[in-house]
Amino acid sequence: MSTPAPKEFLDYVDAHSDDFVNRLGEAVSIKSVSGDPDRRPNVVEMGDWLEKQLKMYGVETKKVDLNFIVPSDQMLPPIILGKIGNDVSKKTLLVYGHYDVQPANQSDGWDTDPFVLTTMPDDRLVGRGSSDDKGPVLGWINVLEAHYQSNLELPVNLQFCFEGMEESGSTGFNEFLSSEDANNWFQGVSNVCISDNTWLTPRKPAVTYGLRGIIYYAVKVSGPVKDLHSGEFGGMVYEPLGDLIHLLGTLTSGDGTILVPGVNDTVRALADDEKVLYEEMDFTTGDVTDATGDTLVTTDKVQLLMKRMRYPSLSLHGIEGALDSNEPKTVIPHEVTGRFSIRLVPDQNPGDIDQLIQSHLKEEFAKLKTKSVLCITAVGDGFPWLGDITHSSFQAAKRATQDVYGLAPDFTREGGSIPVTLSFADKLGVDVLLLPMGRSDDGAHSTNEKLDKSNFINGTKLLGTYLYELK
């Protein structure tokens, strides 16, 4: 049974939309780039600012100093925890978000100063972090303010967990989750909601129930003791670059098919009800060609979606140590490193897949009978995650979307990875839901990142309405 949000809440959001945009502008102006050590004080500043916002609306807060959990030669910004409500008869929802952002400079190609939120004539709110993830985080602050100022009781107990290192690998986060501090703080959590992704397209809201895992590889091939002149030594020595190119060519075909034996054997079969989800999604091949050009491996909508969401993919990223300029140099590199990654799907264990890939590379290398030396390094053990859309939290999100947008959302799976999702699912043993605010064309890590004002305001309504549908 649907339980829409009260009119007082919705009216308050509409009446204060400009105030909410101004607050987002304050947040964007804080240059909280976690990947730049010189900006770490700004990340800490952003955490302090966010904590003050929570306190304004009655939230009990706590800072977790990661520097005492994970030794680091660089300042680690704190995790900001919040808690409001302790009614044992209500559900307790844990909200996760992050307050750090990707690097940005106007010289990168921005049309505006990336750290000044600029409202464009078409109501795009342009600025670094507007969509990823300051806009969604402030959507929750907006929900708190609307209830506080309207004297409305929150329909659920709320907890907040906002981190400042998400864009830099979430350093220290899993260690925090394993701490006694986290055990005590997260007692009683019944559901988790994360707003750190986007709709599948610019047109239709989405609720996300799956993510792919990832393993990242560096494959180094070493040969001569130094770089050599090809006129003097070409044809006389085994060349590492040729060996490496051969190895990389055995991993995947031109149409994206993974050639490593055994990798595709562990993908679960496609169920009829799952196929229907792909068939019903508001998606066309044009949504991809607009961003990529006409380079698709298939024009079948369902196949294209499944290649993004439910099948593993292996992508080559580059070769380090080879010629990277247009100068006519004729050097034979003495050492090169190829980089690639594989995205994993449910039922694929990173350890098992890693063993298959490493065995394959070593066997193919042995076939070359080269005197070069092979070294393989694997980074990351990102497990895939899959929720159950029939569970109450997903159905509540579906009803909330219908309440706010007037249509049912697409149930989507992300092609990328958000490791914290699985961390919460494993740690707390509760339903985790991804409820995106922004659109697919927001350009989260790119130049001119934006969040449409309508998504910011309706997204705030969605988050608040979700609380009522969840209760």
Q: What's the CA gap between 341 and 173, in Å, rounded?
A: 23
How far, CA to CA in Å, does 436 sit from each of 122, 201, 416, 466?
Answer: 21, 12, 14, 12
Start-to-end CA distance of the chain, whole Å, equals: 11
Q: Catalytic amino acids?
A: 100, 166
Structural tokens at position 172: 């220290």
The three-state DSSP-derived secondary structure of the chain is: CCCCCCHHHHHHHHHCHHHHHHHHHHHHHCCCECCCHHHHHHHHHHHHHHHHHHHHCCCEEEEECHHHCCCCCCCCCCEEEEEECCCCCCCEEEEEEECCECCCCHHHCCCCCCCCCEECCCCEEECCCCCCCHHHHHHHHHHHHHHHHCCCCCCCEEEEEEECCHHHCCCCHHHHHCCHHHHHHCCCCCEEEECCCECCCCCCCEEEEEECEEEEEEEEEECCCCCEEHHHHCCCCCCHHHHHHHHHHCCECCCCCECCCCCHHHCCCCCHHHHHHHHHCCCCCHHHHHHHCCCCCCCCHHHHHHHHHCCCEEEEEEEECCCCCCCCCCEECCEEEEEEEEEECCCCCHHHHHHHHHHHHHHHHHHCCCCCEEEEEEEEEECCEECCCCCHHHHHHHHHHHHHHCCCCEEEEECCCCHHHHHHHHHHCCEEEECCCECCCCCCCCCCCEEEHHHHHHHHHHHHHHHHHHC
Give the distance, in angstroms, between the CA of residue 233 and the centroid of all CA atoms in the same chain: 47
